[in-house]
Structure 1
Amino acid sequence: MKAYVFPGQGAQFVGMGKDLYENSELAKELFEKANEILGFRITDLMFEGTDEDLRQTKVTQPAIFLHSVILAKTLGEDFKPEMVAGHSLGEFSALVANGTLSFEDGLKLVSQRALAMQKACEMEPSTMAAIIGLDDETVEKVCAEIEEVVVPANFNCPGQLVISGSMKGIEIACEKLKEAGAKRALPLKVGGAFHSPLMEPARVELEEAIENTNFSTPACPVYQNVNAKPVTDPAEIKKNLVAQLTAPVRFTQTMVNMIADGASSFTEVGPGKVIQGLVKKVDRKMETAGIDSYQA
């Protein structure tokens, strides 16, 4: 079975999507529609902006979503996913790819999500850190013993887990996790503590937007971040998408489950090659490919 996977925040780069805009009429039309929906020319920031422009959450999230989704749409008949998944923000791209959400509704939700998350980040300074070379159980145990807000946020692949929390919580956790044997504990340059209880204000805001959006029955299952399981029921997809903001991204388990359910190859659609690397960490022999630019 062909699995298609979609990247999340951090995969952006200046110039992303420009080749699509210049070579495909359909892509150009969709990008212009996006500029209209968002109320600003995101294409200018994507094609000619600065790294700083693209790092703003309100720009990053729609930019990565647009790059992934428009790429998938330009593949035409060649694009036939049998299972999909996305990393955090990438789950929205996956839901447009499998027909759960329309392009317009997906973009509106991603934009609302980004703005809500940015607002939550400004309410309380917070951050994230990557923990390398330690088993998940030890990281979970150490986080649970700290009085500050600090939780496992992204289970990326075996030996790589991102934690999320208050500035103080992350500082204490990094020290304790190094003492516990982590090879590295690297603070990340992010706007805040994504996938932690500190995103609760954003979750409440997004829940209302998701409830008011039409979700259709998808053409194939989406393996969702919250439970790493295949889902096709629109009501359940909505519930899991809301929960995703304050819950960890269970990506290691997602890949394990997709492989167990018959995935024969993983194709990453969108900027970067991060997810292909994560798949290889789970199963070295798994066939992976990436589509990150216009396919003539």
Structure 2
Amino acid sequence: MIGYLFPGQGTVRVGMGGWLRRDPAGARVFAAADDVHADLDGGLAELCARGPLERLISTDVAQPVVTACNLAALEVLRSRGHVPDIVAGHSVGELSALCAAGVLDVEATLRLVAVRSRLMAALPDVGGMTAVLGLTEQRVAELAAEASAPGEPAVVGLVNGPDNIVVSGALPALQRVADLAVDARKVVSLKVGGAFHSPLMAGAVDDWAAAVRATPMRPPAVPVVPNVTAEPTTDLAEITDALIAQLTGRVRWAETVLRLTDVDTCVEVGDSKVLTGLHRGVGGRCLTMADPTAVRRLRAESVA
């Protein structure tokens, strides 16, 4: 049994997607992404290759470049005859997972991500995100509630592991969380463009919902584990609702990983090792397409 995991926008770096751009199957995805994002100065593939990093990490670029790498890796796997038995994606990576499950085709995925990234980037300055390490989800949620104030919310936005929690919200509230988290192992302010997966994304929800519901979708060929439920499903209506809710909802990645403990091998499908590290942290078996040998190793495991 094989699971595909797709990373999100926090995995960008200069040079990403290098070997995937050189593979014929991957190159076709980058060409399609360049067409969809023809408004990007220098082209999407060129931004992946050369940066600058300051441009890559901006929301309107980070989400498209990560998705291009994810889908390029997916097409490389498809060209070698590999198919998943279950899929999940971290934040914007969920759209790549839907492509892997057959809900969306490559072009529709690229176009939906373009809409998502533009809507989120167009919001006013709406805060940021802070990682709190060494505390439980419940404890961090309590700190976020204590730090919140009228017009300055803070919520748990992502649960990446049992003690790897990301708080999303207004900057003053995030500072209060940092001040209150005296028992944390580490508190790190993340370099992101906004308070993703929080109520501060509400201004983009209506247009995002309209874009999602206007996009043709097919029932998934394999189960999908949405971020906001962390429960495998093949119900297209549930998947659609979860994709909309995800914009302001919590990414329950730690629970998602637990749903995949019976999977023989997971593959991080993209140019990232972040999800591989999180998966191995709970004893799971995971390969990463950031390593070009992953395709060969997956084939060897499939034959064995």
Q: Give the TM-score normalised by the residue count of structure 1.
A: 0.93
Partner SS state of residue 207, structure 2: helix
In 1, the alpha carbon distance for the partners of 2:71 and 2:112 equals: 14
1:232 is matched with which residue: 228, 231, 234? 234
Q: Work out the percentage of aligned pairs sharing the same amino acid.
A: 36
Counterpart residue number, 1:23: 23
1:216 partnered with 2:215: no
Counterpart residue number, 1:207: 209
Counterpart residue number, 1:81: 84
Which residue identity is paired with 1:31? Answer: F
Contact 1:20–1:293 (CA under 8 A) maintained in structure 2: no
Counterpart residue number, 2:170: 166
Name the structure where strand makes up a greater proportion of residues.
Answer: 1
In 2, the alpha carbon distance for the partners of 1:230 and 1:23 equals: 32
1:101-140 pair list within 5 angstroms: 101-120=104-123, 123-140=124-141
1:292 partnered with 2:290: yes
Which residue identity is paired with 1:130? Answer: A
Counterpart residue number, 2:200: 198
Partner SS state of residue 222, structure 1: coil
Which residue identity is paired with 2:119? Answer: A
1:84-99 pair list within 5 angstroms: 84-99=87-102
User: Offset at 1:79?
Assistant: 1.8
Which residue identity is paired with 2:271? Answer: P
Contact 1:71–1:293 (CA under 8 A) maintained in structure 2: no
Counterpart residue number, 2:158: 154
In 1, the alpha carbon distance for the partners of 2:173 and 2:271 equals: 31
Question: How large is the Cα RMSD of the aligned pairs?
Answer: 1.5
In 2, the alpha carbon distance for the partners of 1:219 and 1:131 equals: 37
Contact 1:17–1:293 (CA under 8 A) maintained in structure 2: no
User: Offset at 1:293?
Assistant: 5.5
Counterpart residue number, 1:72: 74
Partner SS state of residue 104, structure 2: coil
In 1, the alpha carbon distance for the partners of 2:49 and 2:169 equals: 33
User: Offset at 1:35?
Assistant: 1.3
1:278 partnered with 2:278: yes
Contact 1:91–1:224 (CA under 8 A) maintained in structure 2: yes
Partner SS state of residue 47, structure 1: helix
Counterpart residue number, 1:2: 2
Partner SS state of residue 36, structure 2: helix
In 2, the alpha carbon distance for the partners of 1:278 and 1:54 equals: 23
In 2, the alpha carbon distance for the partners of 1:32 and 1:267 equals: 24
Contact 2:89–2:97 (CA under 8 A) maintained in structure 1: yes
CA deviation profile, 1:134-179 (whole Å, cap 9, x unmatched): 111111112123323000011001111000000111001111122x
Contact 1:152–1:162 (CA under 8 A) maintained in structure 2: yes
Closer/same/farther in 2, CA of residues 288 and 119 from structure 1, 3 Å limit: same
Contact 1:225–1:250 (CA under 8 A) maintained in structure 2: yes
Contact 1:112–1:206 (CA under 8 A) maintained in structure 2: yes
Partner SS state of residue 151, structure 1: strand
Which residue identity is paired with 1:238? Answer: T
Counterpart residue number, 1:49: 51
Contact 1:158–1:281 (CA under 8 A) maintained in structure 2: no
In 2, the alpha carbon distance for the partners of 1:43 and 1:293 equals: 19
Contact 2:126–2:200 (CA under 8 A) maintained in structure 1: no
Which residue identity is paired with 1:127? Answer: G
| Structure 1 runs, 4 residues or longer, greater than 3 Å off | 293-296
Partner SS state of residue 74, structure 1: helix
CA deviation profile, 1:178-211 (whole Å, cap 9, x unmatched): 2xx1111111111110000000012222111001
Q: Give the TM-score normalised by the residue count of structure 2.
A: 0.90
Counterpart residue number, 2:301: none
Contact 1:72–1:79 (CA under 8 A) maintained in structure 2: no
